[in-house]
Amino acid sequence: MKLWQKENTVTSEKIERFTVGRDREMDLHLAEFDVLGNIAHATMLETIGLLTADDLAALKTELKAIYEQVQKGEFEIEEGIEDVHSQVELLLTRKLGDTGKKIHSGRSRNDQVLVDMKLYTRARLFEVVQATEKLFNVLINKSDEHKNDLLPGYTHLQIAMPSSFGLWFGAYAEGLIDDIIQLNAAYRLANRNPLGSGAGYGSSFPLDREMTTELLGFEGMHHNVVYAQMSRGRTEQAALTAISSLAATVSRLAMDVCLYNSQNFGFIILPDDLTTGSSIMPHKKNPDVAELLRAKTNRMKALPMEVTMVLSNLPSGYHRDMQLLKEILMPAFDEILDCLDIAAFMLEHMKVKQNLLADPKYDLLFSVERVNELVIAGVPFRDAYKQVGAEIGDGSYVPPRELKHTHEGSIGNLQTAQIKERMEREIGAFGYEKVVATLEKLIR
């Protein structure tokens, strides 16, 4: 069954296989959102006289039954059915006859798939937010736990100045806040209602788009019906850009873990059950988890460009090209969630080595401390800098290992409470609890 099929027309099986592609597989992810969109649309149709109260009651009953099937994992798109929209309408028509056929009034498959994708993207973005928060909490707790454990700081891969594990963990924690801000930008683009835009040119029915916007918990609607259709692709690209940014943070963290775990650095210890061995070298404990994290997240950085290329040179209006965006977006959510989960697990079980800077090879890390010591004693900075350079050159340099970093964000003042407060504020800005409450009310 196809929503667009006319009598006495048959599409070649070869063409159907090519045009449907992986849509039936991808559309299973949209099933619960298609039901929610149908309930909102039907509720609105009743208020403008296109459905009777009895029609609406019957449709709601059947749609809720389909929703329960989806939640139990029992919903499927039957062989020969083109997509989730066709399957839901088929189930309604089987049960309700002509009443089921009425539900598509004032709607196109274009705005139907678009509202499904908006609802799906909104929900999955917040899943990513929650997984990011979990990783953030691991990092911030580790930052507090290891605030007094010093670590060599590097610039140009040369030892530079003293750092700490508290600073290192805390840096990635604060970096995740910037990623949350980008996720919020993508979330807001997904959180606008396209329903009622039809095929991109609206409808002569007096649709109440404000009503469906409210029923589905959207922040607002796409006002212009042409732009509502043009937002497809832009929403996916924004979501993937946010995922790409988050992936870049995790990738950099994974690289640090690979580096710090190696014998030449030896800053951290990964437990045996987090590493793998070599088929020939008995001493090896390889950080495969971190390496695969690095590879998977590096690959995700390319996803926004895939969307860019699909959308290249498209004029306004709907085009079938956009069907392929599902195949880029949907697996990306699963991949980033898996990476965030394993990153948090790895960090929870990772141990840090203490007293690293006691090793004489790190004496030069304290050269700036020596310069500052002279400045406090009254020596002009530039003269102090030259004096310490001379001391290093003639072998008289003695590293002052007692650190006195007190300013905001430094070794002695990590500002973890302020970083936590900022993260809570940014996550609170999503207001997702209100969305959940609105959708639960709709399905009840």
Q: What are the distances in angstroms from CA 274 to CA 260, 266, 278, 283, 289?
A: 15, 16, 14, 15, 7
- Residue 306 confidence (pLDDT): 94
pLDDT single digits (tens) 195-217: 999 999 999 999 999 999 999 99
What's residue 12's pLDDT? Answer: 61
Confidence bin at 184 (pLDDT 50/70/90) = very high
Q: Which CATH superfamily is domain 13-105 in?
A: Fumarase/aspartase (N-terminal domain) (1.10.275.10)
- Tracing tokens 């800005």 back to the chain, one arrives at 429
pLDDT at 4 over 60: no
pTM higher than the cut 0.85: yes
The whole-number pLDDT of residue 18 equals 65
307 Cβ partners below 8 Å, 6+ apart?
Answer: 233, 236, 237, 240, 325, 328, 329
Domain boundaries, the chain: 13-105, 110-150+163-355+414-443, 359-413
pLDDT of residue 6: 53
Mean local confidence (pLDDT), 115-124? 98
User: How confident is the model at residue 278, as a pLDDT?
Assistant: 64
* Span 181-187, average pLDDT: 98
**Each residue's pLDDT tens digit, 390-426:** 999 999 999 999 999 999 999 999 999 999 999 999 9
Flag whether pLDDT at 42 surpasses 50: yes
Q: Using pLDDT thresholds of 50, 70 and 90, give the confidence band for residue 2.
A: low
**What average pLDDT does range 18-38 have in this prediction?**
85
Place of tokens 């930008």: 185
Length, in residues, of the chain: 444
Residues 235-292 have pLDDT tens digits of 999 999 999 999 999 999 999 999 999 989 999 998 888 777 767 877 778 888 999 9
Q: Half-sphere exposure of residue 34, counting CA atoms within 13 Å on the CB side?
A: 27
Mean pLDDT across the chain: 93
Residue pointed to by tokens 């790190």: 362
DSSP H or E run through 232: none
- The answer, yes or no, to whether residue 102 has pLDDT greater than 80, is yes
Query: Is the predicted pLDDT of residue 25 greater than 50, yes or no?
Result: yes
Is the pLDDT reported for residue 319 higher than 90? Answer: no
d(CA 307, CA 233): 7
Lowest-confidence segment of 47-51, 228-232, 312-316 by average pLDDT: 312-316
Contact (CB, 8 A) for 61 and 69: no
pLDDT at 368 over 90: yes
Is the per-residue pLDDT at 361 higher than 80? yes
Q: What is the reported pLDDT for 5? A: 55
* Closest among 337, 341, 355, 349 to 287, alpha carbons compared: 349
Enter the DSSP assignment of 103.
G
DSSP 21-85: TTHHHHHGGGHHHHHHHHHHHHHHHHHTTSS-HHHHHHHHHHHHHHHHHHHTT-----TT--SHH
Strand stretches in 213-305, DSSP E: 220-221, 268-269
In this prediction, residue 16 carries a pLDDT of: 64
Domain 110-150+163-355+414-443 carries which CATH code? 1.20.200.10
Helix (H, G, I), strand (E, B) or coil at 151: strand
More confident residue, 174 or 80: 174
